[in-house]
């Protein structure tokens, strides 16, 4: 039996219920009206106070960076060569200043007093940009001026709406000193040239972030993530040595103008570069200033392209970026190679008649009348070309070319500076008898200063070839050493016996040979002169590179110096290596004490007469000069 449910009818609203709903609706409507009225009232009578409270929620600088400090560059004694100085940008906030009429006059008055700004212009900004929260009024202001403004703000609580944004600028305390080695920075704190470029990633840091807001009292509250500063670079440069080298270079250029001049001073026992000077350099604090090279009239007439060419020439580091024929400064390497191969010995002699005939070419000696019989040591001491040609004939081209590479020519040294050029060697296949002969005394191929100096260091230090470098240490923000270079040994170039022989021969070359102007009173100096024609061999317009490379003390070298003078403009002296040797002497006399090399008083290191021909007249040795092959019959 199925039971059916009873149907229920929908409950209808009674009049009483309808009245209740109407009452509730009227009450809600009344409350909304009261709230709206209250809002209108508050806005009309107390809106300013609430507007200030709303500023509490205003976030400022949410995209502001906290700049890192680029790492310092120091010399080997800790003297700052490059550093970053904190400066302050003055930021103006009209939205805060306009929030209270009491803020305008004292704030603008303080800006006028401290920074000398125009009050009318500031009021105009407040009027034209009333809601702006960030207007940069000034850039790169000093810490002292910032502190002066803050002192006024502490005295007057109505000075509001001005804050300071930190920034760093690169500063070079010594101006143009070592400019080609240090380099400089451009926009974005990016290194250009020198250490600044090569070690840019180490010197650079990471920016931090800053977030800020104003509290109810309109005080700026900052929340920040600190920046990570760059690392500190300890260079091998010595400020005292560099200053004196550049001073002597300036004096030389004033008396003997030339196309280029370069000076390198190195530690032969680890490859550290104490000084590197290239021409006049440039002002690191104003690296586009050409006034040291051109007059105002010349600069005014320059096109943009000409100016750029002039700048690139000024910035170019002659010591590492230019190649030239080394001339007779290469002779010790030819002698060293023959000694290493046991093809010659100190007892050997060579005959010089003033020239040597090679494949139908007459190649002269610097002494046209001839040196007669010369020993191996005298081949360097007298800079005898025929003797060197006879030596290289024993080496032959395969061994000679192999030793050129063994000494580092034909490849870059890896010096930690940008822009290093490579040498230009004659290919072994093209090293025929004439080219081999002229190559023996440093002509027919090109090298760079840093290549020759580094290789020469190995000849006189016992045979150890160290990679040249300008940075010895890198430290992090806590001062901990994260990189150290005490000398990277690349190879062993010659034996200790060969090195000892060369030191003796090079000492005799200065003491009684072609390099005698390089002497320094109280010091043992050894070295070799060089003179080579450059460019096209034009008898009507001959141009020369003259040079000297040497070491001191000669018996146990602690300093190697290399001076190269490219194209002296004076016609009488343009082929005179004596200018290079005299300049070397003047530099050594001033710098050696700063490198802890002191005069020895009476020197008892004399010429080893067993290395000389008994007939040698030590008072009759000519200055060596550039020699060119001449077609013979």
User: Coil, helix or strand for 283?
Assistant: coil
Output the pLDDT for position 99. 86
Contact 88, 66 (CB under 8 A): no
Compute the distance between CA of residue 144 and CA of residue 148 in angstroms, rounded to an integer: 6
pLDDT band at 49 (very low <50, low <70, confident <90, very high): low
Judge whether residue 11 has pLDDT over 80: no
Output the pLDDT for position 489. 97
User: Coil, helix or strand for 27?
Assistant: helix
- Which DSSP string corresponds to 160-205? -SEEEEEEEEEE-TTTTTTHHHH-EEETTTEEESHHHHHTHHHH--
Judge whether residue 101 has pLDDT over 70: yes
Judge whether residue 585 has pLDDT over 90: yes
Query: What mean pLDDT is predicted for residues 431-446?
Result: 95
Judge whether residue 46 has pLDDT over 80: no
Judge whether residue 378 has pLDDT over 70: yes
Q: Output b/e per residue, 590-618; b: 16+ Cβ within 10 A.
A: bbbebbebeeeeeeeeebeeebbbeebee
Q: Which two tokens stand for residue 627?
A: 């020699």
* Domains and their CATH numbers in the chain: 63-212 (3.90.1310.10), 243-281+317-631 (3.40.710.10)
Output the pLDDT for position 64. 64
Judge whether residue 174 has pLDDT over 60: yes
- Per-residue pLDDT of 67-77, as tens digits, reads 899 999 999 99
Sheet holding 559-568, edge to edge: 273-278, 258-266, 559-568, 544-552, 526-533
Output the pLDDT for position 493. 97
∠ Cα 204 209 211 (to 5°): 160
pLDDT band at 619 (very low <50, low <70, confident <90, very high): low
- Per-residue pLDDT of 202-243, as tens digits, reads 999 998 887 666 666 656 676 778 889 999 999 999 999 999
Output the CA–CA distances (angstroms, integers) from residue 344 to 171, 390, 395, 459, in the order listed.
56, 10, 10, 17
Compute the distance between CA of residue 76 and CA of residue 197 in angstroms, rounded to an integer: 19
Contact 192, 440 (CB under 8 A): no
Query: What mean pLDDT is predicted for residues 392-404?
Result: 96
Compute the distance between CA of residue 510 and CA of residue 493 in angstroms, rounded to an integer: 24
Contact 570, 256 (CB under 8 A): yes
Output the CA–CA distances (angstroms, integers) from residue 580 to 299, 330, 419, 512, 525, in the order listed.
32, 16, 25, 17, 14
Neighbours of 284 (CB within 10 A): 26
Judge whether residue 345 has pLDDT over 90: yes
Residues in the chain: 633
pLDDT band at 631 (very low <50, low <70, confident <90, very high): very low
| Choice among 197-206, 239-248, 319-328, 363-372 with the minimum mean pLDDT | 363-372
Query: What mean pLDDT is predicted for residues 32-42?
Result: 72
Tokens 């030793």 correspond to: 403
Q: What percentage of the chain carries pLDDT values higher than 90?
A: 66
Compute the distance between CA of residue 581 and CA of residue 558 in angstroms, rounded to an integer: 19
- Which DSSP string corresponds to 84-134? EEEEEEEEE-HHHHTT-HHHHHHHHHHHHHHH---HHHHHHHHHH-TT-S-
- Per-residue pLDDT of 275-296, as tens digits, reads 999 999 999 999 999 998 999 9
Judge whether residue 14 has pLDDT over 80: no
Compute the distance between CA of residue 106 and CA of residue 130 in angstroms, rounded to an integer: 17
pLDDT band at 34 (very low <50, low <70, confident <90, very high): confident
> C-alpha 74: how far from its chain's center?
12
Output the pLDDT for position 27. 75
∠ Cα 312 316 320 (to 5°): 155
Tell which residue, 322, 241, 233, 343, has the closest CA to residue 279.
Answer: 322
Compute the distance between CA of residue 558 and CA of residue 550 in angstroms, rounded to an integer: 11
């Amino acid at each position: 039996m199925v039971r059916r449910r009873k149907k229920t009818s929908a409950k209808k609203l009674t009049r009483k219920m309808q009245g209740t709903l109407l009452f509730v609706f009227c009450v809600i409507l009344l409350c909304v009206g009261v709230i709206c009225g209250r809002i209108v009232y508050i806005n009309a009578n107390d809106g300013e106070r609430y507007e200030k409270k709303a500023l509490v929620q205003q976030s400022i600088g949410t995209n502001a960076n906290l700049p890192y400090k680029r790492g310092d560059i120091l010399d080997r004694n800790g003297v700052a060569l490059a550093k970053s100085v904190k400066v302050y940008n003055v930021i103006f906030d009209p939205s805060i200043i306009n929030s209270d009429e009491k803020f305008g006059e004292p704030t603008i008055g303080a800006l006028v007093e401290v920074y000398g700004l125009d009050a009318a212009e500031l009021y105009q900004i407040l009027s034209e940009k009333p809601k702006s929260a960030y207007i940069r009024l000034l850039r790169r202001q000093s810490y002292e001026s910032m502190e002066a403004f803050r002192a006024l703000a502490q005295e007057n609580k109505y000075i509001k709406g001005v804050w300071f944004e930190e920034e760093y600028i690169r500063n070079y305390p010594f101006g143009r000193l070592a400019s080609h080695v240090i380099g400089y920075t451009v926009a974005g704190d990016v290194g250009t040239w020198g250490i600044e470029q090569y070690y840019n990633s180490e010197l650079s840091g990471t920016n931090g972030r800053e977030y800020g807001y104003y509290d109810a009292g309109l005080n700026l509250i900052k929340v920040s993530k600190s920046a990570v500063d760059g690392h500190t670079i300890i260079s091998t440069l010595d400020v005292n040595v560099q200053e004196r080298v550049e001073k002597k270079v300036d004096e030389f250029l004033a008396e003997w103008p030339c196309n280029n001049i370069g000076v390198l001073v190195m530690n032969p026992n680890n490859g550290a570069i104490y000084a590197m000077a290239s021409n006049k350099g440039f002002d690191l604090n104003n690296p586009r200033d050409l006034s040291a090279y051109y007059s105002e009239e010349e600069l005014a007439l320059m096109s943009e392209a000409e100016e750029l060419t002039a700048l690139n020439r000024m910035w170019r580091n002659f010591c590492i970026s230019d190649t030239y024929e080394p001339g007779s400064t290469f002779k010790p390497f030819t002698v060293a190679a023959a000694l290493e191969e046991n093809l010659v010995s100190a007892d050997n002699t060579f005959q010089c008649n003033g020239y040597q005939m090679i494949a139908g070419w007459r190649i002269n000696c610097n002494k046209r009348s001839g040196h007669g019989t010369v020993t191996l040591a005298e081949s360097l001491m007298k800079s005898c070309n025929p003797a060197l040609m006879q030596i290289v004939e024993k080496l032959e081209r395969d061994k000679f070319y192999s030793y050129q590479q063994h000494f580092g020519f034909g490849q870059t040294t890896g010096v930690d500076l940008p822009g290093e050029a490579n040498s230009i060697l004659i290919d072994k296949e093209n090293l025929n008898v004439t080219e081999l002969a002229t190559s023996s005394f440093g002509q027919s191929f090109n090298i760079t200063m840093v290549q020759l100096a580094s290789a020469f260091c190995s000849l006189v230090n016992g045979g150890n070839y160290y990679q040249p470098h300008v940075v010895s240490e890198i430290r992090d923000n806590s001062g901990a050493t994260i990189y150290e270079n005490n000398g990277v040994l690349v190879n062993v170039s010659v034996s200790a016996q060969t090195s000892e022989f060369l030191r003796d021969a090079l000492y005799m070359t200065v003491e009684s040979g072609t390099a005698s102007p390089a002497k320094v009173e109280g010091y043992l100096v050894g070295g070799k002169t060089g003179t080579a024609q450059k460019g096209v061999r034009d008898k009507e317009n001959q141009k020369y590179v003259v040079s000297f490379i040497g070491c001191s003390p000669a018996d146990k070298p602690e300093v190697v110096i290399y001076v190269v003078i490219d194209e002296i403009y004076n016609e009488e002296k343009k082929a005179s290596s004596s200018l290079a040797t005299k300049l070397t002497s003047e530099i050594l006399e001033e710098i050696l004490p700063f490198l802890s090399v002191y005069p020895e008083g009476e020197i008892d290191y004399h010429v080893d007469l067993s290395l000389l021909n008994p007939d040698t007249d030590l008072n009759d040795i000519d200055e060596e000069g550039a020699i060119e092959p001449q077609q013979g019959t």
